[in-house]
Chain A
Amino acid sequence: MHGEGSIPLVLTLVLAPFFLGVINRTKAIVGGRTGQPLLQVYFDLFKLLGKGAVYSRTTTWVFRAGPIVGLAAVLLVATLVPFGPFRALVSFDGDLILLAYLLGLGRMSTVLAALDTGSPFEGMGASREVMFSALAEPALLLGLAALARATHVLSLTEMHRLLDASGWANEGLAISLVAVALVVVFLAENSRIPVDDPNTHLELTMVHEVMVLDHGGPDFAYILYGAALKLWILGSLVTGLVVPAGTTVAVVELGVALASMLGLAILVGLIESSMARLRMIRVPQLLVGAVALSSLALVLEFGGL
């Protein structure tokens, strides 16, 4: 435990909905609209938390536990990820594997809650979500393994510290391959275009959104907040990798990290405005491509690059 470790956690908890707001605002501006306020996600969360929840009589405790377990898993992940100059609250050898499987646990609870409703659409969404994440997970784990091999440490905080400018100079090839793979994982895990469209309202084409159709009130607030946290956490993994921590001045480094997160949000907004989502059948190909990039990076690291 470290005092400074609470800073990334607090930043994540406070700024994650804002990150989502920036993406939405970018999409609105590119689309020629004014768009919703930057803080709209916070307003939505407060509105939803003030409401009551309605539960169908066909559902069981699994349905009620889904959003809570999902949010709890993401909150635990938030304690593992360093940000800018600050180390993570919890860090130990192998925490990158815990990160991958906590994300998996959160997903499993959402999937089980979706299946518990007995709705055919939700089952379909769950099936797609599980298929995509089964392909995204090796890309994430192999990519992190390549980074662990490059830096010779097994914890995210240490890795983040070692991936500075000289790390880029020595292992630039492998790091850039992993970075591309992680961006694909980031888009897939957070159900963004080109894998899934967070704004779609047609059940047949939804992946993540359809699974949470039956949740309302505080439950939906947990899901929304959990999704925002996950977006921020995976985003900070990507930016922490691409923008190396170079300076020793903590304030400058924090500014750079925050600016790169803003840049990533705008980039996601631009990607979503400029391309359509892929055909469902092409998505596995994109994800296997990311797995291939990650494994290429890992093999290069083992090949004595």
Chain B
Amino acid sequence: MLFAEAAGPHYFVNLTLVLIMLINLALLGSSRLSVCVRLSAAQGILLSVLPLEMPEHDFWSVFVVAAIILLLKGFVFPALLVRTLRTAQVRDEVVPIVSYAASLVVGVAVLCLGFWISSRLTLPHPATSPLVLPLALSTTLVGLFLIVSRKTALMQVIGYLVLENGIYIFGLSLVQDEPFLVEMGILLDIFVAVFVMGIAIFHINREFDHIDVGQLTSLKD
């Protein structure tokens, strides 16, 4: 603690944000679906710690949100995704459209973009740490990139989760007291979404023997 106090007020916030960004880069560079599911679980756990480290939020309402995020993003979603991966019996591959090395370069480019955009944004009140806004934006963009650049349907779910994580960090920095109910509503939405997507992936796989979304382009009415 003494070390952290010497290092500045937002040491733990910055550390968590950098770890979240490192997980983004690892997601862009890893080729195994099961590894990606674990990485997104780790990101969810880090995300739940984040509001607790920001002193300006009311502790108890934040504590409940953090606990629910920890439960959902850290354990329930990964369990659902692992279950989908097992029942659909797909190969444990990401199948990228953009190569891993190029994806990492895109990750860095997106990070720079995040810093550039947030340097031009003016907020109603300053964020906790100068890193919150850029890393929120780049996490969102990494999520989007994961959705468009991977062929396996399961990666789209993970990309969606990363995207939502970015939006959540953005919300943390933008709104001092995000209404409890709104946060709960969003969490319920993504819970249902991941649940439905898991079932949909299972059925797509049973029908077509693969979950390659590239094949969707050949769908015609």
Contact = CB atoms under 8 A, between A and B. Distances in A.
B interface majority secondary structure: helix
B195 interface: no
A170 B7 CA distance: 5
Contact size class for B? 20 to 34
Interface string B106-141: 011001100100000000000000110010000000
Interface stretch (B14-22, B33-41, B44-52, B81-89): B14-22
B171 interface: no
B98 to A, nearest CB: 12
17 contacts: A166-B6, A172-B7, A173-B14, A173-B18, A285-B101, A288-B100, A288-B104, A291-B108, A292-B104, A293-B25, A295-B108, A295-B111, A296-B21, A296-B25, A299-B111, A300-B18, A305-B130
Nearest to A288: B101
3 nearest CB pairs, A to B: A288-B101, A304-B130, A295-B108
Contacts of B134: 303
B179 interface: no
B115 A303 contact: yes
Given A288-B105, A292-B25, A299 B6 contact: no
A284 B7 contact: no
A140 to B, nearest CB: 16
A302 B108 CA distance: 14
Interface in B47-84: none
A296 B114 CA distance: 12
Contact of A296 (B7, B8, B111): B111
A169 B131 contact: no
B149 to A, nearest CB: 15
Contacts of A300: 18, 131
Interface of A: 166, 169-170, 172-173, 177, 284-285, 288-289, 291-293, 295-296, 299-300, 302-305
A173 B17 CA distance: 11
A299 B29 CA distance: 19
A285 B104 contact: yes
B208 interface: no
Interface of B: 3, 6-8, 14-15, 18, 21-22, 25, 29, 100-101, 104-105, 107-108, 111-112, 115, 130-131, 134
Given A288-B104, A289-B29, A295-B108, 12 more contacts: A173-B14, A285-B104, A291-B105, A292-B105, A293-B22, A295-B111, A296-B21, A296-B25, A300-B131, A303-B130, A303-B134, A305-B14
Contacts of B112: 295, 299
Given A170-B7, A289-B29, A292-B108, A303 B101 contact: no
A289 B25 contact: yes
A169 B6 contact: yes
Contacts of A299: 108, 111-112, 115
A299 B18 CA distance: 11
B50 to A, nearest CB: 15
B130 A169 contact: no
Residue from B100, B101, B107 whose CB has the most chain A CB atoms within 10 Å: B101
Nearest to B102: A288
A299 to B, nearest CB: 6
Nearest to A287: B101
A296 B22 CA distance: 9
Contacts of A292: 25, 29, 104-105, 107-108
Contacts of A293: 22, 25
Nearest to B25: A292
Nearest to A302: B115
Residue among A177, A285, A293, A302 with max Cβ neighbours from chain B (10 Å) = A285
Contacts of B7: 169-170, 172
